[in-house]
Amino acid sequence: MTMFGDWAMPVQYTGIVDEHNAVRSAAGVFDISHMGEFFVRGTNAADFLNHTLSNDVAKLAVGQGQYTLMCNELGGVIDDLILYRLAEDDYFLVVNAAKIGEDEKYLTQFLPAGVSFENASPRYAALALQGPKALTIARKFFGEAWPEPRRNAITHASWNCQDVLTARTGYTGEDGLELFFAPEIADNFFHGLLKAGETDGLKPCGLGARDTLRLEAGLPLNGNDLSLAHSAFAAGLEPFLGFAKEPIYPGKNVMMEQKAAGARFKLAAFRVPSGPPPRPHYHLFSGADAVGEVTSGAPSPTLGCGIGLAYLRADVAMPGTALEMEVRDRRVPVEVVKKPFYKRAA
Amino acid sequence: MSQIPATLRYSASHEWVRVDNDLATVGITDHAQAELSDVVYVDLPKPGATLKAGTVAAVVESVKAASDIYSPLTGEVVEVNSALVSAPELVNKDPYGEAWLFRVKLANSAELDLLMDAAKYKASINE
């Protein structure tokens, strides 16, 4: 167990590699109750969110979700989140645990008329059910009446007469669901789900496997790979930055200028063909020049070598570039590669 | 419950020591390997290097993190277990046997008295 903010969370149950492999080959369930849940509602909610968050809210049909960023005026990342549209004027936001307070302040600061905000985090526990068998298990667990969401969509399910939000999203690179429900039923829900997935190889998974899975999938971690130090554009998140939409959100103009001029640093992926795995804060070199710092790194259970993400000087951030990583006073060869490290078979 | 052989001595930082005349073999305990889980890389000291008791002698990396391993004793490194370079997972499989880390020639055998016996170590990890 480890402390993550005020949450006591399991790093591992049976072992990080064991849990990691279960998610890649069958399924795993993660307790993500620490995540924050907000509701933004009202006739002006869409317009407000479109001026506050980066992605284009107008593209979001009822029942759909989208990955989006909350930036400061310089494009620095305050938080990355998923925005779901539950109904015409009813939006559900899932934010990082460590950012709940900051996000709430940011969103409520300039709340216009016709928009209401609720921090519903205390009302929700949550589990992520991830892996190639996740949907099979969910069908068994929720029964035939369950309206199965499509990729990135969200539906209402009923379990023992309790409302459960079932979103087809995740943070592992596998197909799967994120499930939101009342904390009062969490214990029964978790054990019921484990039971439903028993014959499909479902395993409980901790924070350790969550980190190696998301890193292989090239998904950034807020606080490590995303921060105020680099813009969301430098982080490679342009597809979620709504440059084509009309509304201006904080950081949009700065990041569009960065795009025109070219960012000085880029979040790039690299692998260590042989040698010690990369860890956050290791330095990368091109010859004698320090060209970047590692923000995430770990041994990849799927690839069998060290993998990492680092902000690299743009001229050495192209895939195929050979660099060196400093580890305990020596240099180890590394290679810049394309993201993601792992992509599931279609 | 982890294994704690009665014949070995133990440090508070979870290294074990097996003494054979003036040679001491050092490794990490079963408790330590279980806490680390999934060891993927081991950095060993250089043969011929002189280690001081309580200083970093090796690094064991698991999926989770890189962990410093301290030399429980002062002395010159006379041998390292290079099998661990290609098979670091031995640390999880056989921490007291095949996964010994290094051997030092004891410079000060009085340091042995500062280490714990099996019963004390067992109590120190609340088992």
Please report whether residue B119 resides in a domain: no
Q: Which long-range contacts (CB under 8 A, 24 or more apart) does A239-242 make?
A: A240/A54, A240/A55, A240/A66, A240/A67, A240/A68, A240/A69, A241/A54, A241/A55, A241/A69, A242/A50, A242/A54, A242/A55, A242/A56
CB proximity A280 to B under 8 Å:
no
Of B40, B43, B59, the CB nearest to A299: B40
**Cβ(B36)–Cβ(B69) below 8 Å:** no
Q: How far is B107 from chain A (nearest CA, A)?
A: 26
Q: How far is A279 from chain B (nearest CA, A)?
A: 8
Query: Looking at residue A3, what is its pLDDT?
Result: 83
List helix spans (H) across chain A.
16-25, 45-50, 100-109, 134-142, 186-196, 207-216, 252-261
Residues A274, A187 share a domain: no
Please report whether residue B120 resides in a domain: no
A327: β partners = A330
| Closest listed residue to residue A84, CA positions, set A67, A102, A103, A96 | A67
Please report whether residue B121 resides in a domain: no
Q: Which residue of A has its CA nearest to B58?
A: A328
Residues 183-242 in A contacting B (C-alpha not used; CB under 8 Å):
208, 212
Structure tokens of B70? 């301290």
Mutate to test the interface with B, among A9, A11, A296 (most CBs of B within 10 A): A11
Residues A101, A9 share a domain: yes
Q: How far is A21 from chain B (nearest CA, A)?
A: 13
| % residues pLDDT > 70 (chain B) | 100
Of A15, A17, A328, the CB nearest to B59: A328
Query: Looking at residue A346, what is its pLDDT?
Result: 74
Question: Mean pLDDT, to the nearest integer, of A129-157?
Answer: 97
On chain A, the residues whose CB falls within 8 A of the CB of B65 are 279
Q: Which CATH number do you get for residue B59?
A: 2.40.50.100
Which ipTM score applies to this complex? 0.86
Residues A145, A6 share a domain: yes
The predicted-structure confidence for B69-107, as pLDDT tens digits, reads as follows: 999 999 999 999 999 999 999 999 999 999 999 999 999
Query: Looking at residue A186, what is its pLDDT?
Result: 97
Phi first, then psi: what are they for B34, rounded to 5°? -70, -40
Please report whether residue A224 resides in a domain: no
The predicted-structure confidence for A162-190, as pLDDT tens digits, reads as follows: 999 999 999 999 999 999 999 999 999 99
Structure tokens of A170? 């995740």
Residues A181, A301 share a domain: no
Q: Which residues 6+ apart lie within 8 Å of B76 measured at CB?
A: B48, B49, B50, B51, B104, B105, B107
Q: Which residue of A has its CA nearest to B40?
A: A299
Question: Mean pLDDT, to the nearest integer, of A71-87?
Answer: 98
On chain A, the residues whose CB falls within 8 A of the CB of B33 are none
Place of tokens 């661990």: B84
Of A275, A276, A298, the CB nearest to B63: A298
The predicted-structure confidence for A223-275, as pLDDT tens digits, reads as follows: 999 999 999 999 999 999 999 999 999 999 999 999 999 989 999 999 999 99
Q: How far is A11 from chain B (nearest CA, A)?
A: 9
For Cα atoms A79, A228, A333, give the angle at the middle one, nearest 5 degrees.
105
**Cβ(A70)–Cβ(A240) below 8 Å:** no
Q: How far is B20 from chain A (nearest CA, A)?
A: 31
Q: Indicate yes or no: CB of B37 within 8 angstroms of CB of A279.
A: no
Confidence of residue B37 (pLDDT cuts 50, 70, 90): confident
Of A11, A276, A298, the CB nearest to B43: A276
On chain B, the residues whose CB falls within 8 A of the CB of A20 are 63
Residues A148, A11 share a domain: yes
SS3 state of residue A142: helix
On chain A, the residues whose CB falls within 8 A of the CB of B63 are 16-17, 20, 208, 212, 298-299, 301
Q: Indicate yes or no: CB of A277 within 8 angstroms of CB of B40.
A: yes
On chain B, the residues whose CB falls within 8 A of the CB of A17 are 37-38, 63
CB proximity A297 to B under 8 Å:
no
Q: Indicate yes or no: CB of B41 within 8 angstroms of CB of A17.
A: no
Please report whether residue B3 resides in a domain: no
Question: Which range marks the domain in which residue A36 is found?
Answer: 2-214
Q: Indicate yes or no: CB of B41 within 8 angstroms of CB of A276.
A: yes
Q: Which CATH number do you get for residue A97?
A: 3.30.1360.120
For Cα atoms A230, A320, A332, give the angle at the middle one, nearest 5 degrees.
80
Q: Indicate yes or no: CB of A15 within 8 angstroms of CB of B64.
A: no
Q: Indicate yes or no: CB of B63 within 8 angstroms of CB of A16.
A: yes
Q: Which residues 6+ apart lie within 8 Å of A81 measured at CB?
A: A53, A67, A68, A69, A70, A93, A94, A95, A96, A103
Query: Looking at residue A5, what is its pLDDT?
Result: 80
Residues A282, A164 share a domain: no
Confidence of residue A1 (pLDDT cuts 50, 70, 90): confident
Question: With 80 as the cut, is the pLDDT of residue A135 above it?
Answer: yes
Please report whether residue A237 resides in a domain: no
Residues A282, A205 share a domain: no
Confidence of residue B1 (pLDDT cuts 50, 70, 90): confident
Q: Which CATH number do you get for residue A344?
A: 2.40.30.110
Alpha-carbon separation of residue A136 from A56, A104, A140, A143, A323 (angstroms): 32, 36, 7, 11, 43
Question: With 90 as the cut, is the pLDDT of residue A2 above it?
Answer: no
Residues A162, A25 share a domain: yes
Question: Which range marks the domain in which residue B39 is found?
Answer: 9-107
pLDDT averaged over chain A? 97
Work out the angle between the directed axes of helices A16-25 and A207-216 (0-180°, nearest 10). 50
Question: With 80 as the cut, is the pLDDT of residue A320 above it?
Answer: yes
Q: How many structural domains compose chain A?
A: 2
On chain B, the residues whose CB falls within 8 A of the CB of A11 are 64
| Closest listed residue to residue A17, CA positions, set A277, A264, A323, A271 | A277
